[in-house]
Amino acid sequence: MKKSIGAKLAFSPLPTLVIGTYNVDMEPNVMTAAFGGIVSAAPPALGVSIRKATLTYENIIRSKVFTISIPSENYIKEMDYFGLVTGKNNSKFLDTGLTATKGTFVDAPYVEEFPINIECKLIKTIELGSHVQFIGEIVEVKISEEVVDEKGNSDIAKLKPISFVGNDSGYYGLGDKLGNAFSIGKNFKK
């Protein structure tokens, strides 16, 4: 039986994404967001939604670039902190001791210690109400050598990304591999 819960944001899993930008004085800033994902394969692009009150919003509007760093479980505390306070009153890199590295192709900083760093050029700004969605073309990805597999891609078992679950405000690791995509369901084919 089904039960109506109204127009809620019931959606799982959500990612944990750390957006990197420079402030107007070129100090590096970061914030954590859970509203985001891949939006296009060609051009490779991702979208991330944030509120206009954030310093990150001002920075992206001005600079038209940003980075996304994906934290591993090892940095769950730092990732959480990046979403707890505003960069208007805090230097989040100084507070956590993490390293801001300038992107190779964009003028925005990423979190050196996080295993995946994605450099994005802003291609669309979508006004939605409480949030603005920034769509960034992915122009570069760097991964930590410790998480590289034999094919040169990131190994998910080493990457250990974190999911956010809104209902219980919890962070979760990735669990067991359940099956292969484009394969496990093929026996339904007539």
Site for its own copies in 75-114 (CB under 8 A): 76-85, 90, 92, 95-96, 101, 104, 112
Token pair recorded at residue 77:
């505390």
State the minimum distance, in angstroms, from the CB of residue 24 to its own copies. Answer: 22
Choice between 61 and 123, CB closer to its own copies: 123
Number of residues near its own copies (by CB under 8 A): 107
Q: Rule CB under 8 A: say whether 122 interacts with its own copies.
A: no
| Interacting positions 45-64 with its own copies (CB under 8 A) | 45-47, 49
Q: Can you read off the two tokens belonging to residue 155? A: 């190994």
DSSP 64-106: SEEEEEEPBGGGHHHHHHHHHS-TTT--HHHHHT--EEE-SSS
52, 62, 86, 126: residue in contact with its own copies (rule CB under 8 A):
126
Least gap, CB of 109 to its own copies (angstroms)? 13
* Upper half-sphere CA count for residue 177 (Cβ side, 13 Å): 8
